[in-house]
Chain A
Amino acid sequence: MVAFRKVFIVPHHQKTVMASGYIVSRGVLTFGIHYQHVCRNVLLTHTREKKRWMKAYTLLMERKLKIEGPPPPKPRAQKPNWDYHAEVQAFSSRLKECFSPELLKTAFVNPCYIQSEQERRQALGVDSEMAALVLGDNIQLHRQGLEFTKSFLSDWCRASFPRLPSMGVVAIVAHLTSHPVVCLVARNLAIEDLTMSAQFPVPDEVLHSTFLAVIGALQASSGAERAGLFLRDFLVTQLVGKDLFEMWSVVNPMGLLVEELSKRNMALPEPRLTRSAGAGTVLPLYFVGLYSDKKLLAEAPGETVLAAEEEAARVALRKLYGYTENRRPCDFSAVEQPQAPGLQSFSSS
């Protein structure tokens, strides 16, 4: 009979995470004393007493960690306890959406993954006919998803902010479909775990295209309405707390304001200094008000008169476009679902 110390480093053993300092070994049980072959010339004796080698070993491993740095991150699929099909099913039930399983699995497969798999098979010398890689790409779904996302977001923006000009709508849509925002959403929806890509950690580009492919798959499985609700609940909510000019960089707000006012046949804005404090000090404060036909449009503070005037122009634009901080919040209320969520094709239970 052989006695084992806990085996940990070899990944195919389904053992606990977060152990410290266990050694891969073969053990030997003899009469009362347990020996352990660490390697051919080193024999460890298991006793209950104080392990005098433990401190030296831990310090050595810590020094090694300091020199080499932490180990590279591993994808979740290569850690213990992973079942791809169950994860994909849970993904669709968690989001309360009906995905078609084939489309969803195709959406997660990226072309770089297929390429790297082909190369790996060739390198291993596996005949390409024997083990053919039957996996579809997500390029088509990605294109559909991107198109649908852009059109849905533009429509939503125009409906919620009717007074916003098309440049503003384009800027907001570009912000919402930009890499940082989409990758943040994808990472917090566990899409990164399910993505099949050549590199890990998954690069932003790949994650972005995977997310849009998932949207494409949702649109193809459940229809445009459900996909639109999904986008509203996950992408549009990223607008909460964001200011218009954080997303839309306007270089000359005063010029834009003049254009807007002339379009609406209102008098041109006249800036007037309304309040000032500390003019001769290190921190001066000037309030500039913009008046159109002797009626106040907006008032804003600034350190210099020019800065205050620019800020006042921005405040006036926000009021004109209806994108102020105290506007009525957008409607994210739930829509009645006619069918129960889950994958469309059910296996047993």
Chain B
Amino acid sequence: MTSRGTPSRFLQSVLQNGVGRYVCQMKRISLIFSKNGQSSLGAREFIEEGVVDFAQKNPGTVVYVSPQSCRIPKIVAEYLNGNVKEEAITSKTSQQIAELITKLTNQSGLDIIRIRKPIHTDSPSIQGQWHPFTNRPLSIGPIGPQKQQAN
């Protein structure tokens, strides 16, 4: 689809995160998996080996592990700005799930849509934004080309 047809946003951070202290934006992660299902095999392995380390390394994120009878194992990540992201981990290996979880932890909760500019600044001009009157002699009359000064 075109850039006008799909949503887009400007580069921003949630609550000026990073200007003061950095706050991990993921507040909650829920692992939903099945106890006996082939698609949840990776999820079960990850829970056996990796999830406790992850929870200890990220004390600011609450990790919920809920075994249910479901066909598709899921990870539901909730962020501080209220967004909820769901990812299916059907037939993924434990390593892939770990990488996915790291990726989700490092995201802010903002939508993954086209970012209009890769830059953002709150003070775009230090010496003053140029406008057509900058560096011109003061004149009230009609504006024309400046007379070249004979050297």
Contacts and interface: CB of A to CB of B under 8 A. Distances in A.
A190 B20 contact: no
A232 B20 contact: yes
Contacts of B133: 275, 287
A93 B59 contact: yes
B98 interface: no
B110 to A, nearest CB: 11
A236 B15 CA distance: 11
Question: Which of B20, B28, B69 is packed against the most chain A CB atoms within 10 Å?
Answer: B20
Given A240-B122, A274-B138, A275-B139, A14 B66 contact: yes
Contacts of A334: 21
Given A80-B66, A325-B123, A188 B143 contact: no
A254 B13 CA distance: 37
Interface stretch (A60-68, A82-90, A210-218, A257-265): A82-90
Interface stretch (B1-9, B41-49, B79-87, B89-97): B79-87
Nearest to A236: B20
Contact of B28 (A81, A274, A329): A81
Contact of B19 (A87, A237, A273): A237
Interface string B49-67: 0000000000111101010
Given A15-B68, A187-B82, A234 B15 contact: yes
Contacts, number: 97
Nearest to B122: A241
A326 B28 contact: no
Interface string A209-252: 00000000000000000000000111011101100000000000
Contacts of A184: 15
Given A93-B59, A275-B140, A326-B128, 16 more contacts: A16-B32, A16-B68, A17-B86, A83-B62, A91-B60, A93-B60, A94-B59, A188-B15, A189-B23, A190-B80, A233-B19, A236-B20, A274-B138, A275-B133, A301-B131, A325-B123
Nearest first, the 5 A-B pairs at minimum CB distance are A233-B20, A94-B60, A241-B122, A93-B59, A237-B16
Interface of A: 6, 14-18, 80-81, 83, 86-87, 89-91, 93-96, 184-185, 187-190, 193, 232-234, 236-238, 240-241, 273-277, 287, 301, 325-326, 329, 332, 334, 342
Interface of B: 14-16, 19-21, 23-24, 27-28, 30, 32, 59-62, 64, 66, 68-70, 74, 76, 80-82, 86, 122-123, 125-128, 131, 133, 136, 138-140, 143
